[in-house]
Chains A and B, each alone.
Chain A
Amino acid sequence: MALLEVDDLSVTFARRGQRTVRAVDGVSFSVDAGDVVGLVGESGCGKSVTSLAIMGLLPKQPGLRVGGKAMFDGTDLLQLDDRSRRDIRGRDIAMIFQDPLSSLNPVVPIGLQVTEVLTRHRGMKGDAAAKEAAELLDRVGIPDPKRRLKEYPHQLSGGMRQRALIAMAVACQPRLLIADEPTTALDVTIQAQILELLKDLVRGSGTALVMITHDLGVVAGMCDTVNVLYGGRVVETARRRPLFREPRHPYTVGLLASVPRLDAGRGERLNPIPGSVRDLLPWPEGCAFAPRCTRRVDACVGEPPDLVLTHDGRSYRCINPAPLPGIVPTTAAASPTAAASSIAAAESADTADGDGPAPVIGAEALDAGTPAGGPVPAPREEEKS
């Protein structure tokens, strides 16, 4: 059974006199224990709102409605009362946020911000808590932790602050860690270190990690499974390697194609997805991505596309998906042998280098004749180191 099973989660904000905003519109995904799962998409596609809804952290306001289910280890997080939620947060499910400076309390020493979690969930106080806090800071790679405990957030560098936040998040060895764009506010070299740290922490402990990001490089380097979100719904789910190798949903294809390539010729233009997230069709009226889609057909508008499940466990929500390489583009099942072989190849490649960094997808994927210009995310720093 999955550790976290999000089913048909929806979040709507209704305001008097204004159109109701559907920030999340039927998101479903699952996270297995110890897995690293990516939630990927452009800004405004509902990634962060999804995570906040699961945590019960959406700002309380009239007009906010959360629907669906989020089963965590057998209990529906969305049905819990405030008290039980507080018991779970920080202990079983922890979260790391985007901007480490604003996410730390400026007037409270780092030490207390770490120990307060220990006091709350592990009943530790005084010297024991301080000692454990120092060990936590040490574990996340903060040098001279004893001194740092007494310091305030403004005395730490950006990378140190994020490390401190991570220390607070892993203080109770949570079973699920949600990282909401944990590297967006950091500069590139620090980004790599933080991702490496997260990977190390997760690998050893059996903690599952939900990685929310718009950065496909992060996905390539970390995630086992990837969920691509668009317009508040998951449009494609796949293991990392098949997704990069053979993206099926045109939005995924577009995302991969829009990543700047280091090996691109000089003067070659970037390939953005035309339009913006705002040009979105409400799901009940068809595919939300249709207005921006290059593979749009008439049937895309009218009713929402069904989720297509393929036999290898992938799924996508598209009636005219990008063709698999080397296959007549009808449906995935039309040419089972070819599909199976390419998937087998992907899977074997996947196991070959285990969960280590993935130098992946570059030339190899291009050779295979990847559709839509070839997804080659720029190599990231951490993959070289």
Chain B
Amino acid sequence: MFRFIVRRLLQLIPTLFGLSILLFIWLRRLPGGPETAILGERGTPEMRAAIRRNLGLDEPILIQYGRFVRRMIRLDLGTSISTKREVTTEFLQRFPGTVELTITAMVIAIGIGIPLGYLAARRRGQFLDHASVGGSLIGICIPVFFLAYILKAIFSENLGWFPSSGRQDPTLGATRITNFFVLDGLMTREWDAAADALWHLVLPGMALASIPLAIIVRITRASVLEVLNEDFVRTAEAKGLTENVVRRRHVLRNAMLPVATSIGLLTGGLLSGAVLTETVFAFSGIGAFLADSISQRDYPVLMGFIMIIAVVYVLVNLIVDLSYSLIDPRVRVR
């Protein structure tokens, strides 16, 4: 187990190295550059050159890359061109919001998706089955921003149940420790702040959950259908076990492997930011900031954020792989 984790973490090094090369080439191939973003159409060639020289962009690309690598080894990701603040600071301020949003969305998606997928499989061919399969198709097809606007219109503007934007009511003056607002509220015992932050997560979480939910319903349903045909389920029934035990211990546990895989991939995807949802709900996560950074050609932010997201993605999938061995003893890792 320990060796498995170490090996996977060591594999991360060449992965990151390769990714940094690809990213570097890809970003520099984009037309325009930070100087265009800063000066717009009117900048003179001299002004552009001055800015490029200032940012060190006039040097040969290999030297620039070498500098980037040397800094990265010291965990220094540089300074944002547009905000002039440390990339790490920007990240630590925004990523917690994305994490909270991802967790909310996945809790909704898993909490509804697995029971619904199980019931659909158990009632195969009946109304609930058709409804959940059809519903999940709609869930995949509806554009997230559209769903986000509808949720906002109904639950926030019309019914007024949930706040329409932001991560927390600023008038509460909540204390910040980790920038995970819910966690901060709990740690400082500012319960109203925690509840308010949680309340702000509901609508964006629901919007963001739609696609993962649809996928989890479908994968769970297919997987449960397969397991229900297995001989050991018949054995469990032959023992006269209660439906509850058969379901939990014998059906769901075996059906969870493919579901766990997809949960890992979906979580990793959500952690890289949800531009549309964040924009609709004015939710400050990394998604909107990343999108801005692309149009600003903010190279250090893009490089830094994407590298960190890659690490997070690998870690999430490492956790999923480790969870396999908890679910299925046959894939014990060495």
Chain A residues with CB under 8 Å of chain B are: 55, 57, 59, 62, 85-91, 94-95, 97, 99, 102-109, 112, 116-117, 120-121, 152, 154, 165, 168
How far is it, in angstroms, between the C-alpha of A62 and the C-alpha of B229 when the chains are bound? 16
How far is it, in angstroms, between the C-alpha of A166 and the C-alpha of B237 when the chains are bound? 15
If A103-B231, A103-B234 touch, whether A120 touches B239 (CB-CB below 8 Å) is yes
Q: Does B152 contact A (CB under 8 A)?
A: no
**B contacts with A: majority SS:** helix
Contact of B329 among A99, A117, A152 (CB under 8 A): A152
Contact of A87 among B231, B235, B240, B328 (CB under 8 A): B240
Q: How large is the interface on B (under 10, 10 to 19, 20 to 34, 35 or more residues)?
A: 20 to 34
Contact of A108 among B237, B239, B240, B250 (CB under 8 A): B250
Query: In the assembled complex, how far is the CB of residue A159 from the closest CB belonging to chain B, in whole angstroms?
Result: 17
If A103-B235, A104-B232, A108-B250 touch, whether A91 touches B330 (CB-CB below 8 Å) is no
**Total contacts A to B, CB within 8 angstroms?**
82
How far is it, in angstroms, between the C-alpha of A102 and the C-alpha of B230 when the chains are bound? 7
Q: Is the CB of B238 within 8 A of A89?
A: yes
Q: Is the CB of A106 within 8 A of B254?
A: yes
- Chain A neighbourhood of B239, CB < 8 A: 89-90, 94, 116-117, 120, 168
Query: Given A94-B239, A105-B232, A116-B239, list of 13 further CB < 8 A pairs?
Result: A86-B241, A88-B240, A89-B238, A90-B241, A97-B235, A103-B232, A105-B235, A106-B330, A107-B327, A107-B328, A107-B330, A154-B329, A168-B235
- Chain A neighbourhood of B330, CB < 8 A: 106-107, 152, 154
How far is it, in angstroms, between the C-alpha of A318 and the C-alpha of B39 when the chains are bound? 102
Q: Is the CB of A106 within 8 A of B237?
A: no
How far is it, in angstroms, between the C-alpha of A108 and the C-alpha of B245 when the chains are bound? 12
Q: Mark B231-270, 1 if CB is under 8 A from A, else 0.
A: 1101111111111010001100110000000000000000
Q: Is the CB of A90 within 8 A of B245?
A: no
Q: Is the CB of B241 within 8 A of A107?
A: no
Q: Mark B203-229, 1 if CB is under 8 A from A, else 0.
A: 000000000000000000000000001
- Which of A94, A102, A107, A154 gathers most chain B CB within 10 Å? A107
Q: Does B40 contact A (CB under 8 A)?
A: no
Q: Does B125 contact A (CB under 8 A)?
A: yes
Can you list 10 A-B pairs, Cβ within 8 angstroms, ordered by A? Answer: A57-B238, A86-B241, A90-B238, A94-B238, A97-B235, A104-B232, A105-B249, A117-B240, A152-B329, A168-B239
